[in-house]
Amino acid sequence: MKFNLLSKVRNQTVNHEGAKAFTLSPEMELYTAVVTWSLNDSFYEKDQARLQRLQKLIAVCNPVFVGKLAVYARTKMYMRSVPLVLVTELAKLHRGDDLVARVTDGVIGRADEITELLACYELLNERKGTKKLNRLSKQLQKGLSTAFNRFDEYQFGKYNRDGAIKLRDALFLVHPKAKDELQQVLFNKIANNDLQTPYTWETELSALGQIGFDSDEAKAIAFCAKWEELIDSGKLGYMALLRNLRNIQEAGVSYKHFEKVCARLANADEVARAKQFPFRYLAAYRELVNPAVTRVPAQSMVKKLTNLLQDNKGYTGELLDALEKAVQASAANIKGFDHNTRVLLACDVSGSMQTPVSAKSKVLLYDVGVMLAMLLQSRCKNVEVGMFGNIWKTIAVPRNNILGNVQEFYRREGEVGYSTNGYLVIKDLLLRKVKMDKVMLFTDAQLWNSSSTTGDHIQPLWLRYKAEVSPNAKLYLFDLKGYGQAPLQVLRNDVYLVAGWSDKVFEVLAALENGGSALDAINSIELL
């Protein structure tokens, strides 16, 4: 009995608000920290502090798990920078087999990630200049060599940028072996800085911008024609399309070209291939309805979004409809729950959630949680949604209006305040004796009780709820920031933890429903 008590005490900690919380296993903590990190300071944790925490966790986790997590983060969670950090750290610690080579090859999804990985390796190993990179990990070098063989001239040319480490530097450092004569010709072009300039929207618009036009009217006509040409060419990538909707609109392209843009945006196959974070669609939506919106707390943004279409030009409604269809398509493969399963989705709108996901982004962590909740809501038949801060409130919104629903949450978010009283979600169910089968909290997991009159905590309230109201209920914590603790004991009393910003987090639910954990999805990754 004493050993059980000691074990329970060791599992307890406090979160960044000083409230009681529970520690995670090293693998679970590493997973949550990795898939919620944009390599920027967060509300409670500086960037360097998170890096140091990751380094300590990597050192105590199984190397194979670390490698699979890196590939999972790149291929399933659509992350680009953090997987490179994992590979670099793994290369410092692991020797004796080809694990690092296989992981390196697995995280290189674009040609520019070859040079990005080398820059990351140089930085984290505190080296400077390509000469000092000659002591590159042999297995990392082997993995990069394999990656070199996957790209063609267009892909290399598109990302042949003038950074501190150039593609030519990488070629001389890695020494990839050409698989045939044509590839050797390509490698020679890289070595001689003789790659053909690819036809991309960036290069075309940049070249047009160098021309001295006789008048502003002539310039406007030229840029309109160029955007129409790019739309017709099919060379405008899906992400580039999302980011340039406002530019395309302001260029004054023809209605025929607007129809092409809308059709492509809403095409389910295009959406699937694009592999965008769900909040990218929200960012495009907001740029259309009010491009002046800046990175501000949600309560201020409400005022800026009051007159949504005031300054917009024509066809905005059609673009917004296309974005909504695109989001609906992205949700199509999410496995929701039927009419017999009662689901409650609770969104954290506290102050710590109203910070940007990265330094250059207008998207808030708040957006990520609400977007994920609305995606899942669209796939559930018997579902209630709400938000919590100082208080907890349910909000009725239609199922098939995902982006509009997020805006509705913004409009009403100030109604609940900005504390993190997530315990009120469970307390309300308990007091009203409402039976839910699935309770899902979208939060940074820093729950606390701001009331001076009650000592309520979500852990004992959940145990009471299961005992008194809904014995088979399950609680899912969608951890959106990965600070390293949980407000409840995970994998006990039907409490599960999921982390990340991609809609792929919902694939983890299948493993959880079958009695597994979020780590099962990572461990199922094959390292080729």
Going by C-alpha positions, the residue among 344, 352, 345 that lies closest to residue 444 is: 352
Tens digit of each residue's pLDDT (9 = 90 or more) over 423-451: 999 999 999 999 999 999 999 999 999 98
Q: What tokens appear for 25 in the block?
A: 């296993």
- Return the axis-axis angle of helices 47-60 and 81-93, rounded to nearest 10°: 50
Instruction: With a cut of 50, say whether residue 495 has pLDDT above it.
Output: yes
Q: What is the pLDDT of residue 373?
A: 97
User: What pLDDT does 306 receive?
Assistant: 34
Which one-letter amino acid corresponds to residue 324?
A: E
- Per-residue pLDDT tens over the stretch 310-346: 333 568 899 999 999 999 999 998 988 999 999 999 9
> Can you spell out the DSSP letters for 127-141?
--STTGGGG--HHHH
pLDDT in tens, 129-147: 555 676 788 999 999 999 9
Instruction: Report DSSP letters for 76-88, one per residue.
Output: TS--SHHHHHHHH
User: What share of the chain in percent tops pLDDT 90?
Assistant: 70
The reported pLDDT for the residue numbered 129 is 59
Q: Which of 243, 311, 236 is nearest to 281 (CA)?
A: 243
The whole-number pLDDT of residue 41 equals 74
Tens digit of pLDDT for each residue in 7-34? Answer: 444 578 898 888 898 999 999 999 999 9
Distance (Å) of CA 465 to CA 394, 468, 481: 19, 5, 27
Residue 296: pLDDT above 80? no
Q: Which residues contact 524 (CB under 8 A, 6 or more apart)?
A: none
Residue 358 to residues 84, 165, 225, 347: CA-CA distances in angstroms? 17, 24, 34, 20
Residue 359: the pLDDT is 78
Average pLDDT over residues 502-510: 87
* Ranges 3-12, 117-126, 240-249: which has the least confidence: 3-12
Give the position of tokens 């506290």: 350
Residues 6+ apart with CB under 8 A from 203: 197
Helix (H) or strand (E) holding 411: helix 402-412
Does 454 or 526 have the greater pLDDT score? 526
Of 173, 177, 80, 86, nearest in space to 124 by CA: 86
**Distance in angstroms (rounded) separating the CA atoms of residues 30 and 25:** 8
pLDDT at 130: 55
Largest Cα–Cα separation, the chain: 87
Lowest mean pLDDT among 60-69, 129-138, 176-185, 436-445: 129-138
pLDDT at 5: 38
Listed in sequence order, the residues at least 6 apart from 62 whose beta carbon sits closer than 8 Å to its beta carbon are: 27
Residue 409 CB-half CA count within 13 A? 31
> Which are the contacts of 152, defined by CB distance < 8 A and separation ≥ 6?
186
The structural domains of the chain, ordered by start, are 2-191 (no CATH), 201-234+236-330 (no CATH), 333-523 (3.40.50.410)
Q: How far is CA 284 from CA 82, 311, 374, 407, in A?
A: 24, 16, 17, 13
pLDDT of the residue at 361 = 82
Span 453-471, average pLDDT: 94
In the chain, the percentage of residues whose pLDDT exceeds 70 is 92
Is pLDDT larger for residue 411 or for residue 337? 337
Q: How many residues does the chain have?
A: 528
Question: Cα Rg for the chain, rounded, in angstroms?
Answer: 25
Start-to-end CA span in the chain (Å): 46
Average pLDDT value for residue range 395-415? 90
pLDDT band for position 453 (cuts 50, 70, 90) = confident
Q: Say whether 345 sits in a helix, a strand or coil.
A: strand
Residue 358 confidence class, pLDDT cut points 50, 70, 90: confident
pLDDT of residue 33: 94
